[in-house]
Each structure stands twice: as structure tokens, then as C-alpha cells.
Amino acid sequence: MRGPHNLWRLIRTGATLERTGAMGVVLDAFDAPRPIRIAFRTLVWPFKRLGIEGDASMPPATRALSALGPAYIKFGQILSTRPDVVGVDIANQLRVLQDKLPPFGVEQARAQIEAELGVPLDECFSEFSEPVAAASIAQVHKARRADTGETVAVKVLRPGIERAFRTDIDAFYFAADVIETLSPASRRLRPRDVITHFESVVMGELDLRLESASASQYAANTEDDEGFQLPRIVWGLSGRRVMTMSWAEGAPLGDNDAIDAAGHDRVLLSERVLQLFLNHALRDGFFHADMHQGNLKVAPNGDIIAYDFGIMGHIDEYTRRVYAEILYGFIRRDYKRVAEVHFEAGYVPADRDVDEFARALRAVGEPIFGMDATRISMARLLSYLFEVTERFGMQTRTELILLQRTMVVVEGVARSLNPHMNIWNVAKPVVEDYIKTSIGPRAAIRDLVQTAQVLGRFGPRLPGLVEAALIQQSDGVFNFKPSPWPTRILWGSLGALVGVAITVAWHLWS
């Protein structure tokens, strides 16, 4: 229930951060000003003893987020990829949240698998290991199929995870309501819509049948991508709470020592992981939206292997084109065009000044170009970008939240492999290729072909639809009669012929 009782959850969150020592660490990481530090400490200190003590063997930030539950752990996973935002020390501490959390018992896992698949575990697997990785929502076991002898990975949801996430999400909704009430200016950020989007993503992650389907679609989209692999889903041994897939052998992408020992080129890998993400987002509109180091490996042949498909992002063709034009404008340092795209897409209110917005964007983009990536403070850059969006009345675009968040995570992964990587230089060839194929004469003809195909399908119905519209508009003044069937057939044939003609023209152009 999303009521005031969730205030207790929020108080306990602050108290846990204070009790575990994470409050000071977090405030230091974000370089919070002194008044903010005093305000937080004053509000939270009286409730310190109400906080969860957590595992004292863990560093403060990891200890606090682990104690608070799965939704907070997800937040920590994102921060673990951004040493430039929270600092190297905290990022390394939070990295254990990716796949090194305390597991639940193997007997609980066996019981869940048997309940889900409806058969004894020994009939499915001749070998079944202790957990090899444990994350916020599920854990993974290495097993051997009883029928084929194939080595597989078996993913099992944590017991009670659905209820735990519901508790956190309800508290987040309450916090969003409080923020919108106390700070009307925050409404442009649409905090409730952001939480709604987060909820839909998480609820999908808690049904492993949907994850299996996403993995299958992702594999079909990327089967020709060089340097990229995905494990194969074993549908007969998968269900709502269990998912089985082929075993992915390789070095964790977050283990630079192992990558170096295997002789892989980290600079090449850093570029590949970013370009793969951009290709999937722009070309396919369907991308892996949880690409942190815990979900990526490097195969012995140097390919990048992705797994854990619980969070996948989808963006429509129009949004992809807008996003590509914005990226392309930044790459070309054409800030006026970037500003115009924001206005054309309705991202910035029409009553604002486009030239002033372009100058503000220049202040965001220029520090990046020609500068060593290690000297760029992403925390300060994001802070200034937030100021710009507030000044120009930009509202949060919920359809882009997952894309933007994943972009931040993937850049963090790439920079952990190569701290000197410049995101714009690496992104340029992918974005330019998308621009060439999706924005221009060829793309316009393709759009016309698709429109004609739709018209062709509705051709036989078009005369009736037009006549119905005219009758409605006439409001009974004119007495329209439906056209005879020969006329309808003629109109339908003409619609189909137009579709065929444009389709032929498109193939000739291609």
C-alpha cells in the first residue's frame, strides 16, 4: 500500500545509511555542500538506532545497500560502473553487488526448480552445483543436463523476492508523492512516472519466462554481430522462476587482471562494448539495459558475451532518429542543430529561446572534446546538465530513462577497461552509419513504402471509410449513398497498385 506508513521505510533508509557509516561516504562521494551535510545529519541522527546494522564485514556503502534490499542493490550496481562519479574506492566496493551477494541455500533452489518444472531435479540435471553467482534478484548454478550432458547455467529467483521489491517500490512511490508536494518545481522531472517506469521494468525481470523470450529475440537480432555472443536458452528446462541456458565460459569483463592475463586488448574491448550497445539501440531499437560488468564476459576468442536479460530496453523508430540526431550533433559540435532537434521533438517548451539553449549545450559538450577522458568530471558535467534542463523547463522523458541510464552504465564499463576512452570518438562511426541509413532520401522512400503497404492492406476499405467520414461531417445535410461494389474494388486495386509501385521503386533504389 502506498500510504504514509512508507515514511517508516524512508526513515529507516536514512538511519541505515547513518548507522553503517555510509551516509558520510555518500555525501563525500557526491561532494555535497556543508549545508546539505548538516541538514541530512540533523534529520537522520535521532533515528540512527532504528537503522539496519547489516554485515559489518562489508564496506559501509555496500553494507547499507545490501541491508536495505534488492531495489537499493540495483541502484548500487549502477553506481559501481561510475568511478568518475562516486570515486574509484566506492565503485570497487559496490562492484560486489553485481554478482557476489550472499546466496540462498541450494536446497531452496532445488525445491523451487522441482516445483516450477514439475519433475525431480535429478531427472533434469545429472550434476547441480552450489551457487556460482548471486545477485539482487536471482542466483545462478552450474549444472549438467541429464539427457545430453551439456553444461548449462540455471538461474533461480530468490525466495520472496516479489514481496521484497513491492515493499521498496511502494516506499519509492510515497517518496515521489512527498517530493512533488513539497517541491512543485520537481514535477517537471515527473518522479512518479519515473517510479512507474522502474516498476514496470522490475516486474518484468521477476518473470523468467519473459527474460527467456527477450534473450531469444536479442539473439535473433544480433546473430550477425561480429565479436558478440549470447548463451542459448533451453526452453524445456525454463519457466517463471527458473531459466536454463548454455554455459558461457570466459573472463569477467570487470576483472582487468584476468583480461590482461588472457591476452585480450582492453582498448578494443572498451570500444566494442560501447559500439555494440549503440548498434543495438539505434539499429534494432531493442537493447540490453543492464550491461554492467557482472553481466558481461570475454570469451577465449575475444568475443564479448552478454547474459542476464531481465532488463531489456525498447525504443521506437522516431525516438531512435531523434536520439541519433542529438548524438550526431554533439559529435559534429553543431549545438544549434542539437538545440533545434530538442525543440522539434517537443523536449523543450516552444516559448524558450533556441539560441540560448544552444549556448547552454555548448557549455556541456565543449569540455569533452580534445580532453583526456580521465580529466573529465562526469559528476560536474551531469550536475551542470541538470541545471540546463531545469532552466529551460525540460520534463523527464520516461521513454528515454532506460536508454539514458544504460548509456551511463555502458560508458562506465568501457572506461573501466580504458580510462582514456572518449565516448564521442568511439560513438561517431556507429551514429554516422545510422544517420546515413535512417535519415535522408533512402529512409524517406522506405517510410513511403511502409505507408503504401498499410494503405494497400486497407485499400478495399478506403472508399467506405471516406464515405463514412463525409456522412459524419455532413451531419445529415447531404444524403450520401455507398458506392457500388465495382467502385470499391477499383479503389482497392488502385491502393494496392500504388503500394506495389513504391515497393518496386524502393528495391530499384536499394
Catalytic residues: 290
CA–CA distance, 460 with 495 (Å, rounded to integer): 8
Sequence-distant contacts of 359-365: CB under 8 A, at least 24 apart? 359/335, 360/388, 360/391, 360/392, 361/330, 361/335, 361/388, 362/335, 363/388, 364/388, 365/330, 365/333, 365/335, 365/338
Residues with Cβ within 8 Å of 242's Cβ and at least 6 positions away in sequence, in order, are: 112, 113, 116, 117, 154, 155, 156, 157, 208
Three-state SS for 471-509 is HHHHCCCCCCCCCCHHHHHHHHHHHHHHHHHHHHHHHHH
Cα 442 from chain centroid?
30
325: nearest Cα among 436, 485, 198: 436
- Whether residue 64 contacts residue 97, with contact meaning beta carbons closer than 8 Å, is answered with no
The number of helices, as runs of H, and strands, as runs of E, in the chain is 24, 10
Helices (H), 130-287: 161-182, 191-205, 208-222, 256-261, 266-279
Q: Say which DSSP state 299 is in.
A: -
Q: Helices 208-222 and 191-205 sit at what angle, rounded to 10 degrees?
A: 90
Tally the residues of the chain. 510
CA–CA distance, 243 with 102 (Å, rounded to integer): 20
- Whether residue 13 contacts residue 68, with contact meaning beta carbons closer than 8 Å, is answered with yes
Q: How far is CA 396 from CA 34, 191, 289, 451, in A?
A: 28, 8, 18, 31
CA–CA distance, 51 with 18 (Å, rounded to integer): 8
C-alpha cell at 334: 553543431
CA–CA distance, 446 with 502 (Å, rounded to integer): 9
196: nearest Cα among 405, 8, 13, 398: 398
CA–CA distance, 166 with 158 (Å, rounded to integer): 14
Helices (H), 314-440: 317-332, 335-344, 354-365, 378-391, 398-417, 423-438
C-alpha cell at 402: 532506460
Residues with Cβ within 8 Å of 345's Cβ and at least 6 positions away in sequence, in order, are: 322
- Whether residue 253 contacts residue 263, with contact meaning beta carbons closer than 8 Å, is answered with no
Residue 401 backbone dihedrals phi, psi, to 5 degrees: -55, -50
